[in-house]
């Protein structure tokens, strides 16, 4: 047996076997696609049997057999277009053209004279080649937009079409070739035919093993990512990743997860904006209610109440599997496709596997969230405790002093009613009373900061003028306050709060420079923002404290209550004031050398812009100070 004969036999056996496999599938469950696949391989097998009859048994075929054989041949591209239409969408015009072409070919073949006339031959050839080219190109295009298994299947079919076209081309050219080249051409033709058969088979009806092998990389990638999914920022992000994983693993164009809301017994689907359905609605709802995976190859028919929705979202085939962790029902995972043949029954098991994996991930996320809530509750309790003990501690000192002094005065007044009241004791009561008031105001402000409710009326305000006044008020020989400014910088701010902000920063700069030293305030305009930096040459802030400096009650580890009085609320409130104005407050410091607090505030706010500009112009005319002391 020559190599060509061997290949011929091999190809014939292959096609007969494939025909048997795909026909068995039709018998098991006849669907349109399965019938089309069986028809395609059936026709190919008939052509081969005809070849066997004529070549192996060297029977001279009767004329009707030749005609039948040619007609079957012409049916191949038409059947491929039908299959293409099963897997993707072929314009109706093309389907009609293919049908008409086939009809003309058959009529021409049946009614034409014995040797096929040249014009008809040309038409048949053109019809065959154009159709094959169209099919190959369409499958290549479909493969590009598809993913996973579907992509590989489409690519296999495209390769099959190219190879089949090649085989037919060579077959047609053999009589034109020199005699000694014909054997090689036949060999190539047979090889191409064999490969085309295999490519079509794995494309149209991939055996489960191959399908699994194709799914494996996507599945592996998904499972690889699975461990990190619970740590994504929110459940919506996890749901999206799970949907993507299901799309990739199943080669589906779309997937959607519906999360169950126990309170109103609904499923909330996220894809394309949230949609809420009763927990037994849609195919997904049925899978959720029945707690088993469901395969619907025609969703509009199986769930007519939502037929429009399925049509609108291009969901002809729907596979749905419940997402359930133990007894805990979490939701449902559905994948859709506009074409039925993309999925096989076995995909349902894979989908259930992915849904189970999704359940574990969502469950872990819920546990992480719960742990976070517990931590937040504990933190809130701790903060409240801190707050109470810090507040009680700070209020107690002036209160004790006031009570002790008042009791002293009371005793003296009882014992010596005629003696004049000690003015020093009275002054102490006033000072401590004022300190108490400051502390209470600070506590109230801290509560307002917490609620984001610090600001009142905003008005145009010249920052240069304001810090100039504050600087002048705190200026002393031990702590000279230097203001650097190029001119007025006007923005729309809450005057009292901005004054409180800079008072606080300048007071801190002085308080934390016990050995004295210059305090400088630089005011700059940065286009739409104003920047004010308050710098001192004081004790500085340890690096470890910097990240916590603006937190409530945080005091530097280098300060102690006896030397530096304070509650650690001032900077917390300052940051609140700046942020409520839409700005930022930052600190930089070199421990032991000094600190700089930098405030950035937006200058213009909405409709007050013109007023702001007008005020600035006015202020520019009055304030010419570049450097004030």
- The CA-CA-CA angle for residues 590, 587, 602, to 5°, reads 150
> Residues 232 to 271: which contact ligand ADP by CB under 6 A?
none
The answer to whether 249 and 222 are in contact (CB under 8 A) is yes
Beta bridge partners of 328: 325
CB burial class (10 A; 0-12, 13-18, 19+) of residue 410? exposed
> For ligand ADP, which is the closer residue by CB, 123 or 591?
591
Backbone angles phi, psi at 599, to 5 degrees: -105, 130
Q: Is 519 in the site for ligand ADP (CB under 6 A)?
A: no
Q: Is 568 in the site for ligand ADP (CB under 6 A)?
A: yes
Which residues make Cβ contacts (< 8 Å) with residue 43, sequence separation at least 6? 72, 75, 76, 79
Q: Is 566 in the site for ligand ADP (CB under 6 A)?
A: yes
Q: Is 211 in the site for ligand ADP (CB under 6 A)?
A: no
> For ligand ADP, which is the closer residue by CB, 295 or 512?
512
> For ligand ADP, which is the closer residue by CB, 15 or 572?
572
Sign of CA dihedral 226, 229, 231, 235: negative
Q: How far is the CB of 540 from ligand ADP (least distance, A)?
A: 6
Q: Is 285 in the site for ligand ADP (CB under 6 A)?
A: no
Near ligand ADP by CB under 6 A: residue from 243, 462, 536, 616: 536
Q: Is 567 in the site for ligand ADP (CB under 6 A)?
A: yes
Q: Is 570 in the site for ligand ADP (CB under 6 A)?
A: yes
Stretch that binds ligand ADP, among 43-51, 196-204, 383-391, 508-516 (CB under 6 A): 508-516
Q: Which one-letter DSSP state was computed for residue 222? A: H
Q: In what order do the strands lie in the sheet with 519-526?
A: 584-590, 594-602, 529-535, 519-526, 481-485, 627-628
CB burial class (10 A; 0-12, 13-18, 19+) of residue 152? buried
- Cα separation, 510 vs 516, in Å, equals 7
Backbone angles phi, psi at 452, to 5 degrees: 65, 40
Near ligand ADP by CB under 6 A: residue from 166, 541, 599, 601: 541
> Residues 544 to 563: which contact ligand ADP by CB under 6 A?
549, 555-556, 559
Q: How far is the CB of 463 from ligand ADP (least distance, A)?
A: 19
Residues near ligand ADP (CB under 6 A), total = 20
- Cα separation, 517 vs 411, in Å, equals 45
Near ligand ADP by CB under 6 A: residue from 18, 164, 196, 569: 569
Site string for ligand ADP, 582-611 (x = CB under 6 A): -------------x----------------
Q: Which pair of structure tokens corresponds to residue 13?
A: 């056996």
- Cα separation, 86 vs 104, in Å, equals 24
Q: Which pair of structure tokens corresponds to residue 522?
A: 């630089």
Q: Is 398 in the site for ligand ADP (CB under 6 A)?
A: no
Near ligand ADP by CB under 6 A: residue from 168, 571, 577, 601: 571
> For ligand ADP, which is the closer residue by CB, 405 or 595?
595
Residues making contact with ligand ADP (CB under 6 A): 508-509, 512, 536, 538-541, 549, 555-556, 559, 566-572, 595
């Amino acid at each position: 047996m020559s190599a060509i004969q061997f290949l011929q036999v091999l190809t014939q056996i292959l096609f007969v076997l494939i025909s048997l496999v795909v026909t068995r599938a039709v018998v098991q469950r006849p669907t349109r696609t399965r019938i089309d696949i069986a028809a395609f391989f059936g026709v190919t097998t008939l052509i081969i049997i005809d070849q066997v009859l004529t070549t192996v048994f060297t029977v001279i075929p009767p004329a009707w057999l030749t005609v039948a054989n040619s007609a079957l041949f012409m049916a191949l591209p038409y059947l491929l277009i039908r299959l293409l239409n099963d897997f993707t969408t072929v314009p109706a015009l093309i389907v009609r053209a293919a049908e008409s072409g086939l009809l003309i070919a058959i009529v021409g073949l049946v009614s034409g004279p014995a040797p096929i006339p040249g014009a008809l031959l040309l038409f048949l050839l053109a019809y065959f080649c154009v159709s094959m080219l169209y099919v190959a190109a369409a499958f290549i295009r479909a493969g590009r937009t598809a993913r996973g298994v579907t992509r590989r299947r489409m690519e296999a079919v495209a390769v099959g079409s190219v190879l089949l076209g090649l085989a037919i081309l060579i077959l047609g050219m053999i009589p034109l070739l020199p005699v000694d080249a014909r054997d090689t051409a036949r060999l190539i033709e047979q090889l191409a035919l064999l490969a085309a058969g295999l490519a079509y088979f794995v494309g149209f009806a991939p055996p489960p093993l191959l399908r699994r092998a194709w799914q494996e990389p996507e599945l592996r990638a998904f499972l690889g990512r699975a461990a990190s999914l619970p740590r994504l920022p929110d459940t919506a992000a996890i749901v999206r990743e799970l949907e993507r994983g299901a799309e990739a693993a199943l080669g589906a164009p779309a997937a959607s997860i519906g999360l169950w809301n126990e309170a109103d017994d609904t499923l909330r689907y996220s894809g394309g904006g949230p949609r809420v359905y009763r927990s037994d609605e849609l195919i997904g709802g049925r899978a959720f209610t029945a707690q088993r995976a469901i395969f619907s190859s025609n969703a509009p028919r199986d769930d007519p109440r939502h037929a429009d929705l399925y049509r609108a979202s291009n969901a002809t085939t729907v596979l749905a599997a419940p997402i359930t962790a133990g007894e805990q029902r979490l939701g449902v995972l559905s994948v859709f496709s506009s074409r039925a043949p993309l999925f096989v029954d076995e995909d349902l098991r894979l989908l259930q596997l992915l849904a189970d994996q999704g359940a574990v991930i969502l469950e872990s996320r819920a546990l992480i969230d719960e742990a976070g809530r517990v931590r937040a509750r504990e933190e809130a309790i701790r903060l409240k405790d801190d707050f109470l003990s810090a507040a009680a501690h700070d209020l107690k000192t002036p209160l004790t002093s006031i009570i002790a002094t008042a009791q002293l005065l009371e005793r003296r007044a009882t014992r010596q009613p005629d003696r004049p009241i000690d003015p020093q004791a009275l002054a102490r009561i006033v000072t401590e009373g004022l300190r108490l008031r400051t502390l209470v105001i600070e506590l109230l402000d801290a509560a307002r900061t917490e609620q984001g409710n610090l600001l009142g009326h905003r008005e145009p305000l010249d920052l240069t003028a304001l810090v100039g006044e504050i600087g002048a008020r705190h200026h002393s020989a031990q702590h000279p306050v230097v203001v650097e400014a190029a001119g007025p910088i006007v923005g729309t701010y809450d005057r009292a709060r901005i004054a409180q902000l800079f008072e606080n920063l300048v007071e801190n700069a002085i308080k934390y420079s016990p050995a004295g030293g210059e305090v400088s305030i630089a005011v700059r305009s940065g286009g739409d923002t104003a920047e004010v930096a308050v710098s001192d040459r004081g004790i500085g802030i340890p690096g470890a404290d910097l990240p916590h400096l603006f937190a409530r009650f945080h005091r530097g580890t280098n300060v102690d209550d006896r030397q530096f009085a304070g509650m650690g609320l001032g900077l917390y409130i300052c940051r609140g004031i700046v942020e409520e104005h839409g700005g930022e407050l930052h600190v930089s410091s070199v421990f032991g050398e000094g600190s700089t607090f930098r405030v950035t505030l937006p200058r213009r706010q909405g409709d007050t812009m013109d007023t702001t500009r007008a005020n600035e112009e006015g202020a520019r005319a009055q304030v010419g100070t570049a450097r004030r002391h």
